[in-house]
Amino acid sequence: MFQTVTLPLWALILILGFAAVTFASHFLFPSVRWFFRRRMERAVAKLNNRLQRPIEPFKIMRRQDQVTRLIYDPQVMEAVRDYAREEGVPPNVAFEKARSYAREIVPGFSTATYFGFAIKLAQRLSQGLYHVRIGGADSPGLQQIDSRAAVVFVMNHRSNMDYVLITWLASKHSALSYAVGEWARVWPLKALIRAMGAYFIRRRYSNPLYRAILARYVQMSVQQGTTQAIFPEGGLSLTGTVGDARKGLLHYIVRGFKLHEEQDVVFVPVALNYDRILEDRVLISAGLQGIRRFPVRMKVVLGFTLRIIWQKLRGRFTPFGYAAVCYGAPLSLREFMTHEPDASTETLAEQLMQRIRSAVPVLPVTFVAAALVRCGGSCSRAELAEECDRLRAELHKRKAWLHLPQEPEKDHVALGLASLRLRGIINVESEQITTTPGEEPVLGFYAASTLQRCDAQAGIATDRGHTLQDPDTH
């Protein structure tokens, strides 16, 4: 028993390695995880004191625990049995398929990543590229939302900057959980987005089992009070207008809602607009071709980014105009289903999209582009001024959100014309303004949001003014 045993060096190293791994996995790692878990819980508790809507425990639950809870949900287990029966595969194979879908969907929210890195980065990007304005956030309806209600922000989708802008502006309210398409499932973006609490959804190649798991995840997160942010259009606008809604996620939320339970679900319409959309020509080209493929080359993106950085370093960068976010009138799902018990998800979706359209802010470029389109794309300065006066009066009548600076040094017509001229969309010669040949689709793209606002139904009940604020003074 006490005899000396001779071992080769490689065997000794292997034994010591196994012993170290066993010690770490059974004693060291649990202690380290407990230490950091306690620190995170204290940080979240401190953070919740300044958030209007505290971070719910469901959101900071360990990712593996969320996956386990999801796949063992009774409705998911029933979907697994149905899948096994319909596909003719063993139940354990179907269960492993469900587990892989759950791992694909469930995020791994990191408080440090979201509030320590993402918010600051979003703020720097937003304010570095645009003059940011916010409107409607003081609406009594928004302030009076029951603290126990689950909040779902429903937004129009103008640009990939939407994620950045709304993440920063909503950081005073709560941490948002996004539904993100398959485009973001690339390294290293995938890990970052998942750490920010976003979940990936397949728009193609899905099956009933996948949709059942996605539906239960959305329903469970809403029932636990996680603040959601969804783009009902399902993709970026190719025309510049607010399109129709895809009912998938809305249908999941409505189907999981219990009318007589204490918790309500409140939809908050959010409308975004920009004086310049970074990917505008890519979207316009896709719209003209009738496709939803955006062949963005990384070489072009990298070159564009480096050019902006170089201009900033030299102090020659000119911001891309204004970016604005406006909140519309909230809609309570309980009130909707009580007053319209026979209404469908389509009716709900249309009401939400109408509220978004009614909240879309009007900015200098979109305003001037709309006036030019109404003038036929070519006019004198005097004719443009007259059309701008008529358009402004019409927008005021419809209670549109206007961010049109009136100061002499910031005349909104001059700002809009300068931006369009700088990008080569229009030509200005003396007193005559004309659209550059071939740029008519671009001018129409920017005009569309304002022209749609003029055509939208009036009378949406809101308690709001008609100006936008700088977010730093809000």
- Residue 362 has φ and ψ, to the nearest 5°, of -100, 125
Name the band, by pLDDT with cuts 50, 70 and 90, for residue 408: low
10 Å Cβ neighbour count for 141? Answer: 19
Residue 59 or residue 403, greater confidence: 403
Report the percentage of the chain scoring pLDDT > 90.
Answer: 33
Residue 194 pLDDT > 80: no
**Residue that has been written with the tokens 């783009």 in this structure:** 231
> What CA–CA distance (Å, rounded) separates 86 from 296?
40
> What CA–CA distance (Å, rounded) separates 142 from 349?
19
pLDDT at position 458 is 40
Name the band, by pLDDT with cuts 50, 70 and 90, for residue 380: very high
The enclosing H or E element of 330 equals none
Over range 318-340, report the average pLDDT: 90
Residue 67 pLDDT > 60: yes
Residue 388 pLDDT > 90: yes
Name the band, by pLDDT with cuts 50, 70 and 90, for residue 119: confident
Residue 412 pLDDT > 90: no
pLDDT at position 136 is 60
Residue 460 pLDDT > 50: no
Residue 369 pLDDT > 70: yes
Residue 4 pLDDT > 60: yes
Q: Which two tokens stand for residue 200?
A: 């990936």
Over range 463-472, report the average pLDDT: 48
Mapped onto helix, strand or coil, the DSSP state of residue 305 is: helix
> What CA–CA distance (Å, rounded) separates 208 from 216?
12
Q: Which two tokens stand for residue 10?
A: 């490689």
Name the band, by pLDDT with cuts 50, 70 and 90, for residue 474: very low
Express each pLDDT in 132-181 by its tens digit. Answer: 988 765 455 566 777 778 889 999 999 888 888 888 877 666 667 777 77
Tell me the CA end-to-end span of the chain in Å, nearest whole number. 78
Name the band, by pLDDT with cuts 50, 70 and 90, for residue 461: very low
**pTM for this prediction:** 0.80
pLDDT at position 360 is 92
CA atoms within 13 A on the CB side of 3: 4
The residue among 154, 99, 448, 70 whose CA lies nearest residue 284 is: 448
Q: What would you report as the CA-atom Rg of the chain, rounded to the nearest whole angstrom?
A: 26
Contacts of 367 (CB under 8 A, 6+ apart): 388, 391, 392, 402, 404, 412, 416, 450
Q: Write out the E strands in 287-425.
A: 322-327, 331-332, 378-380
pLDDT at position 44 is 46
pLDDT at position 464 is 40
Residue 197 or residue 397, greater confidence: 397
> What CA–CA distance (Å, rounded) separates 282 from 194?
26
Which of 72-86, 192-206, 222-236 has the least mean pLDDT?
192-206
Which of 16-30, 309-323, 348-362, 401-415 has the least mean pLDDT?
16-30
pLDDT at position 473 is 41
Question: Judging by DSSP bridges, how do beta strands 426-429 and 378-380 pair with one another?
Answer: unpaired
Of 46-60, 71-85, 246-260, highest mean pLDDT = 71-85
pLDDT at position 75 is 93
10 Å Cβ neighbour count for 93? Answer: 13
pLDDT at position 440 is 94
Q: What is the 3-state secondary structure (H, E, C) of 145-204?
A: CCCCCEEEEEECCCCCHHHHHHHHHCCCCCCCEEEECHHHCCCCHHHHHHHCCCEECCCC
> What CA–CA distance (Å, rounded) separates 152 from 228?
5
Name the band, by pLDDT with cuts 50, 70 and 90, for residue 183: low
CA torsion sign for 467, 470, 472, 473 is negative
Over range 209-233, report the average pLDDT: 88
Q: Evaluate whether 146 touches 469 at the Cβ level (below 8 Å).
A: no
Residue 193 pLDDT > 90: no
Name the band, by pLDDT with cuts 50, 70 and 90, for residue 424: very high
> What CA–CA distance (Å, rounded) separates 55 from 47?
8
Name the band, by pLDDT with cuts 50, 70 and 90, for residue 23: low
Q: Evaluate whether 374 touches 326 at the Cβ level (below 8 Å).
A: no
pLDDT at position 459 is 38
Instruction: State the chain's mean pLDDT as an integer.
Output: 80
> What CA–CA distance (Å, rounded) separates 143 from 135?
14
pLDDT at position 190 is 65
Please report, as a single letter, which amino acid is at residue 53: R
The residue among 278, 452, 448 whose CA lies nearest residue 356 is: 452
pLDDT at position 154 is 93
Contacts of 414 (CB under 8 A, 6+ apart): none
Q: Evaluate whether 362 touches 404 at the Cβ level (below 8 Å).
A: yes
Of 102-116, 241-255, 399-413, highest mean pLDDT = 241-255
pLDDT at position 38 is 54
